[in-house]
Amino acid sequence: MSEDLKKTASNGHVKMLIPEEQQGKINEVKKLIGPLSGKALVYCSDASISRYLRARSWNVKKAAKMLKQTLKWRAEYKPEEIRWEDVAEEAETGKIYRSNYTDKHGRTVLVMRPARQNSKTTKGQIKYLVYYMENAILNLSPEQEQMVWLVDFQGFNMSHISIKVTRETAHVLQEHYPERLGLAILYNPPKIFEPFFTMVKPILDTKTYNKVKFCYSDDQNTKKIMENLFDLDHLESAFDGNENTPFDINKYAERMKEDDKKIPSFWTREISPSSVANDVPSLDSIKLDTDSDASDNEKIVRSSDSVTNTGLMDPDQNSVNHEDRNVSAAVH
């Protein structure tokens, strides 16, 4: 294998491995984890282990430790047992919901509206977030493993956000759902939000931080980005799309209840053989782990070069390094 595929974090890149080496690392993690059964066995598919390895720069011991912590958390928290009735009160305002469309790469889209926050309890908000992460994963297509967050800041003020909840959210997502976020678009965030986001930077790992991008409706680059990522006929008008149907909690509740019925079979399914996952030009795969903070939060609306380099301007771009693809396309 060429030397450029063996670059490590010391020079600003995550180590890249050919598929055979990836599988070898996955097998090593399996040995460290030991025998599994039931839901833990279903969870620890090759694709899942691959995500933990990528999150830890293919360090087997660190990935195994991280995965063990997740298995312990899942055994205690039981996220797969949360149902709509458990979070319905949190959902009433439509502050977080799974859209009925995907982006052009087939990624599940979660819409978030922090101004519609209706709860003060950290426990309730985190439970609600976990439910939606599980639901988003449940609805991923077989060839896709990441999701997109669309955050609408209309009506937002600082009373709608909590450092404590933000810290706990970052912990749960980064430690127990690694490599699930493909891109988070913060749409029309007010000036007062930017200092807050800078303040929370230390609790975000570099890869997560680099996936968060600011977009503004009055910027032409933003419009091009949204056009290339989404079908505008399905995208909500809040993000400059053409869909004006308001959020209906009653219809949405029925949709979630139907999803809940799929959960038991999801956790008793057989794991399909490993296969190469869909090659999406996501920020995660283009802009790998870096030690430099110089352009961590560079606004995509201010730099056409950064947009081009992340592949956002061309949804058909295939410039992602093919050596760092997923080993398996299984959902978990």
pLDDT tens digits, 195-243: 778 878 888 888 888 999 899 999 999 999 999 999 999 999 999 999 9
The separation between the first and the last C-alpha atoms of the chain, rounded to the nearest angstrom, is 29
Lowest-confidence region among 107-111, 150-154, 162-166, 260-264: 162-166
Partners of residue 150 on adjacent β-strands: 111, 185
Q: pLDDT for 15-67, tens place per residue? A: 578 899 999 999 999 999 999 999 999 999 999 999 999 999 999 999 999 99
281 contacts 6 by C-beta, under 8 angstroms: no
Average pLDDT in the 115-141 region? 92
| Mean residue pLDDT across the chain | 80
Across the strands, what pairs with 152?
Answer: 187
Is it the case that residue 119 has pLDDT exceeding 50? yes
pLDDT for 196: 79
When pLDDT is averaged across residues 85-107 and rounded to a whole number, the result is: 95
What is the distance, to the nearest Å, from the Cα of residue 50 to the centroid of all Cα atoms in its chain?
15
Dump pLDDT digits (tens) for 270-300.
655 443 344 444 333 323 233 333 333 333 3
Checking if the pLDDT of 79 tops 60, the result is: yes
Model pLDDT, residue 121: 86
Q: For residue 315, is pLDDT > 90?
A: no
Q: 238: left (phi > 0), else alpha (psi -120 to 50), else beta?
A: alpha
Stronger pLDDT, 121 or 98, i.e. the higher one: 98
**178-194 tens-digit pLDDT:** 999 999 999 999 888 88
Task: Give pLDDT, residue 136.
Answer: 95
- Asked: is 81-264 a CATH 3.20.10.10 domain? The reply is no
pLDDT of residue 270: 66
Does 128 score more than 80 pLDDT?
yes
CA distance 92 to 78: 23
pLDDT at 101 over 70: yes
